[in-house]
Structure 1
Amino acid sequence: MYHAATLKDKLKLFLKLLWPILITQVSLAMMSFVDTIMSGRVGTSDLAGVAIGASLWSPVFTGVNGVMLAVTPLIAHALGKREKDRIQGIINQAIYLAIIIGVLVILIGGLLLNPVLNWMQPEESVHFVAKHYLIGLSIGIIPLFISNVLRNFYDGQGMTRISMFITISAVPFNFLLNYLFIFGNFGFPQLGGIGAGYATGATYWVILLINILLIFKLDAIKQFKLFVQWNKPSLTAWQEQLSIGVPIGLTIFFESSIFSVVTLLISVMFSTTAVAANQIVISFSSMVFMMPLSIAMALTIVVGYSVGGDRLAAAKQYSILGVSSGIGILGIAATFMFFFREQIASWYSTDASVVELAGQLFLIAILYQLSDGAQSGLQGVLRGYKDVKIPFFISLISYWLLGIPIGYLLATFTAVGPFGLWIGILIGLTSAAVGFLFRLRFISRVKTKQLQT
């Protein structure tokens, strides 16, 4: 990492960090994409079961990953202040915390899984697939959380290509394991959608093993003596990470959970066809969202490094560059989705009714792309400032006091049906984008005054 002097140099540095993050995020999304497509080829019930399982797992995963994301600004600020000796301690404590959180997620999930699925009352076959998909996936939860800590360790130093290499290396394993477990090839048990869960859980172990191998092989990483020297667990260090990570995690949770809640409500209120169609739109939209999400992650690194080095003018330039790029990219993606929505849906399912409904739902998804790009980029900038508490309340109000209630009312008391829930998502994302923008303007002015005094 370095402080770029000119706007051209800043653009070069930003792109240098961004493209490996983007490939990493797309590769991660490819795992869910492959799960969904392959499960859909087995049958509508398998697709719906994986949809429900994924909708329950997604907010948990993204929320916990948000807690781990605190590592990125912590390291970026330490580097900006030339406190490199603090990095090993930050990572060791984050790994301890990741293991504790992973154990808690498994235990709590084991207690709540059946009650939640019973409340949803899906068809018996869908219930069975969803439950055992999550059981299979749970074998990889702890290695996944540890891997996320290590990824944020690389990214916080600007070593984004390491994360890219690891994730790209794991994708073929995920595809192969899906091929074996879903369809029962080469003597493996034919598990249908359930097999996608076991394949994904096993892939998370592959990712961790590759991480550990590189830690001992790369000179740039060996110097930190990770997995060699261990600090004692520190409640103070955990508190520092949690004070940043919990608001980030909850903010991401509130955003990602609205999509999960929509899936759960559709499963309760509408047919299996509607659940499958909804999952198609969420799956593809999530893949597209990897672009602005990657921009947001790169923004956290460069803004955090700039703010840590008291270079607020540079932080502002990066902010404008990144947020405008995210909006522009999703504008292009929305145009593509409009013209090819039914062709995209046909990748996932051969059921004509599912494809038709998914094509209609895509029309609503297209509308919120610009808001989604804006709010994601603005969140990334705010994390670079280590400003996370107020954005947490903004997301809570936008998604849960506006988006979900309005969507539910529209779906329940009007003739728009499941489209009403997606209108609620549009309202929630737009409200969040506006709130984050005003917060960034405020915090930027505050930081400038503090530096001047």
Structure 2
Amino acid sequence: MNQTYNKKQKINQLLVILIPVLVTQLGMFSMNFFDTTMSGHYSPEALAGVAIGSSLWIPVFTGLSGILLAITPIVAQLVGGKKDHEVAYNVIQGSYLALIMAIIVMIVGAFSLNPILKGMNLEREVYETAHDYLVALSFGMIPLFVYNVLRSFIDALGKTRVTMLITLLTLPINISFNYVLIYGKFGFPELGGVGAGYASAITYWLVTIISIFIIMKQKPFSEFQVFNKLYGISLRKWKEILLIGVPIGLSIFFETSIFSAVTLLMSNFDTATIASHQAALNFASFLYMIPLSISMALTIVVGFEVGAKRYKDAKEYSWIGVAMGVTLAVLCGIVLYLYREPIAGIYTSDANVLKLTAHFLIYALFFQLSDAIAAPIQGALRGYKDVNATFILSLISYWVIGLPFGYYLANSTDLGAFGYWIGLIVGLAAGAIGLSSRLIYIQRKKYSVVKGNLG
């Protein structure tokens, strides 16, 4: 990355980093997207089973992998501050931590998965698909967690195009394995929705192996000599990573788990409602990759500028990112409203599920604007390493405001399942307002420091 001197240069540099991040996020999300859509065309039960399995897995993974995102602002600030010699040590310690986290998740899952699923009112086939899908996915957990550290390192250097190319290379592999394992093609067993879990696990291994090879062999990554030295475990460094990463992970967990909680609460509805809810939520999550990518790009550029003590530039980047997010959200909202029925048809050919999905998609429109504000601001705050307030705001917005309100509407009014979605919209809006206030406070505080130094 380079220092910028005007708004045009900042927009250009942000786009150079953002576009590959967006393509990468869409590619990574597409694995879950194709898991859902291809399972949905196998049977409604397969779609519902994968939906339940994903609802249990996604908040756990995103929350814990969010901890590992601490590597991005750490490396970005080290590079911005000309401390390149410290980068490799931080990346390796992050990789050790990722390995331990993955092992813990698998152990906990082995003891808790059956009790959780048995506590839900699921049809037998849906229960079996959800269970076996998660077991299959577990074979790829270790490489997936390690990859998050390696990707954070690559992206922190501003080389987001590299992770984009890795994702684009492996996505067709994931789709191919989905096809042969879900439907039983070319002599492979017909596994239904479970096959999607094995396909994703295989893909996670390939992504990680390719990333390691690139970091070892290609410049500028090879110049940091990440894998050239065997470092001992440093609990002190783990503590530093966790102090930054845990609030990030909790913030992401509170946000993603609210959607999963809604899906689990909706297990009392029929299979068609569960399937249509998950299909609409899956597409809304697909659109969320836009503000999420802006968020990740802002963490990189804001962290770089803060590391170089250019606080005014960091502030300008922050609000340019928010403006981008809102503009794109409006455009996506228009497309979503006009084409909601064809979009629903991507997920299912069942007439009842298709009709309900199109209805849920109308509510997804209102997710976009709040996400367009909240996600970029979260990314900017992470660039400042201001992470504690974010998870508190997420907890209050989603779990204290959004979920209770949605539960009330769903169970005490005629809105039924749609009441949960209204609750989610209210929670997201509350989060956007709180985060905006926090960013304004932080930037004023940082700017006053600069003025004091100049005086």
Same fold (TM over 0.5): yes
Give me the whole-angstrom Cα distance separating, in 1, the residues matched to 2:307 and 2:255: 28
Runs of 4+ in structure 1 over 6 Å off: none
Whether 1:377 and 2:388 are equivalent positions in the alignment is no
Summarize deviations over 1:210-251 as a string: whole Å, max 9, x none.
112212220311222223312111011001100010000000
Deviation, 1:158, is 0.5
Give structure 2 stretches of 5+ with no counterpart. none
After TM superposition, the structure 1 = structure 2 runs for residues 21-420 of structure 1, keeping only pairs within 5 Å, are 21-267=21-267, 269-420=268-419
Deviation, 1:259, is 1.0
Summarize deviations over 1:138-170 as a string: whole Å, max 9, x none.
000010010110000011110111111111111
**One-letter code aligned to 1:351:** D
Give me the whole-angstrom Cα distance separating, in 2, the residues matched to 1:64 and 1:114: 21
Summarize deviations over 1:39-92 as a string: whole Å, max 9, x none.
011100000000000111110111112111100000111111111111001101
Give me the whole-angstrom Cα distance separating, in 2, the residues matched to 1:265 and 1:396: 18
Whether 1:13 and 2:23 are equivalent positions in the alignment is no
**One-letter code aligned to 1:348:** Y
Summarize deviations over 1:371-398 as a string: whole Å, max 9, x none.
1111111101111110000111010000
Deviation, 1:131, is 0.3
Give me the whole-angstrom Cα distance separating, in 1, the residues matched to 2:126 and 2:119: 13
Give me the whole-angstrom Cα distance separating, in 1, the residues matched to 2:149 and 2:244: 14
Give me the whole-angstrom Cα distance separating, in 1, the residues matched to 2:300 and 2:60: 24
Deviation, 1:5, is 1.1
**One-letter code aligned to 1:336:** V
Calculate percent identity across the aligned residue pairs: 46
- Number of equivalences: 452
Deviation, 1:346, is 1.0
Deviation, 1:120, is 1.2
Give me the whole-angstrom Cα distance separating, in 2, the residues matched to 1:77 and 1:220: 17
Deviation, 1:402, is 0.4
Secondary structure of residue in 2 paired with 1:120: coil
Summarize deviations over 1:429-448 as a string: whole Å, max 9, x none.
10000000000111111112
Give me the whole-angstrom Cα distance separating, in 2, the residues matched to 1:129 and 1:322: 40
Aligned partner of 2:441 in structure 1 is 442
CA contact (8 A) 2:69 2:149 kept: yes
Secondary structure of residue in 2 paired with 1:185: coil
CA contact (8 A) 2:84 2:224 kept: no
CA contact (8 A) 2:89 2:226 kept: no
Give me the whole-angstrom Cα distance separating, in 2, the residues matched to 1:338 and 1:403: 23
Give me the whole-angstrom Cα distance separating, in 1, the residues matched to 2:297 and 2:156: 9
CA contact (8 A) 2:291 2:376 kept: yes
CA contact (8 A) 2:280 2:361 kept: yes
TM-score by length of 2: 0.98
**One-letter code aligned to 2:422:** I
Aligned partner of 2:428 in structure 1 is 429
CA contact (8 A) 2:42 2:192 kept: yes
**One-letter code aligned to 1:387:** D
Deviation, 1:255, is 0.6
Give me the whole-angstrom Cα distance separating, in 2, the residues matched to 1:312 and 1:222: 30
Secondary structure of residue in 1 paired with 2:191: coil
Q: CA RMSD in A?
A: 0.9
Secondary structure of residue in 1 paired with 2:190: coil
Deviation, 1:127, is 0.2
Give me the whole-angstrom Cα distance separating, in 1, the residues matched to 2:45 and 2:352: 14
TM-score by length of 1: 0.98
Give me the whole-angstrom Cα distance separating, in 2, the residues matched to 1:437 and 1:7: 21
Give me the whole-angstrom Cα distance separating, in 1, the residues matched to 2:200 and 2:51: 14
Deviation, 1:115, is 0.8
Give me the whole-angstrom Cα distance separating, in 2, the residues matched to 1:448 and 1:403: 34
